[in-house]
Amino acid sequence: MERLRKSAMLLLMAGLPAAALPFWGTSHDICFTAGSVTYQLSSAAAAPDYRVRIDNKAPRPDLRVRLVDQAELADFALVDDAGAPAGQACATAGLLRTVKIVPVADASDVTITVSRDAQGEAQGADFALFVHSARITHQDAAALFALMRHVQASQKVAAVSSR
């Protein structure tokens, strides 16, 4: 019985950091691939390729993200398992771009708002996002998806204007 109690305590202690991640702080070195580009979200990046600011009071953000509680309501969904991340999640044969979420007072390449609205329409959101993850916070996922959408839109505008 004592062994069972100690094992249960050990499992609880090992599981707390993973369970707490969505509630506190930014995840470290999250990678997400879109096409030939892998975006690495890192809070330690000294000179990131992109800086994303989450400013819910910005009068004109580049993108508005609405968090939803059901995948069926989302434009984008991020769901992962509760296990440990793959060892080489950031390995890529394509381009690797670093991303950092910066404080509201800092300069950024993209400014977004992130909100949850029970009524369904959060201030004219550009897209709805569903996140169910043991490792990635809602803000991390919103920053990555918003940046990818912003970069893709910029590339389309550049391609059209060069014609």
Question: What is the CA angle 156-122-126, rounded to 5?
Answer: 5
Among 12-16, 48-52, 123-127, whose mean pLDDT is lowest?
Answer: 12-16
135: three-class secondary structure by DSSP: coil
Q: Is the pLDDT of residue 17 over 50?
A: no
Which amino acid appears at position 45 of this protein? Answer: A
Among 62-71, 87-96, 97-106, whose mean pLDDT is lowest?
Answer: 87-96
Q: Is the pLDDT of residue 6 over 60?
A: no
- What's the domain count of the chain? 1
pLDDT at 87: 62
User: Mean pLDDT, to the nearest integer, of 6-30?
Assistant: 45
The b/e string for 31-67 (b: 16+ C-beta within 10 A; e otherwise) is bbebeebbbbbbeebeebbbbbbbbeeeeebbbbbbb
Which amino acid appears at position 4 of this protein? Answer: L
Instruction: Identify the domain containing residue 120 by its residue range.
Output: 2-161
Pairing of strands 30-34, 37-41: antiparallel
Mean predicted lDDT score pLDDT of the chain = 77
Residue (of 58, 38, 23) closest to 98 by Cα position: 38
Half-sphere exposure of 115 (CA within 13 A, CB side): 19
Q: Is the pLDDT of residue 35 over 60?
A: yes
Query: What pLDDT band is residue 31 in, cutting at 50, 70 and 90?
Result: confident
pLDDT at 146: 87
pLDDT at 47: 93
**Which tops the pLDDT comparison, 113 or 118?**
113
Please state whether the predicted TM-score (pTM) of the whole model is above 0.95.
no
The Cα–Cα gap between 92 and 85 comes to 15
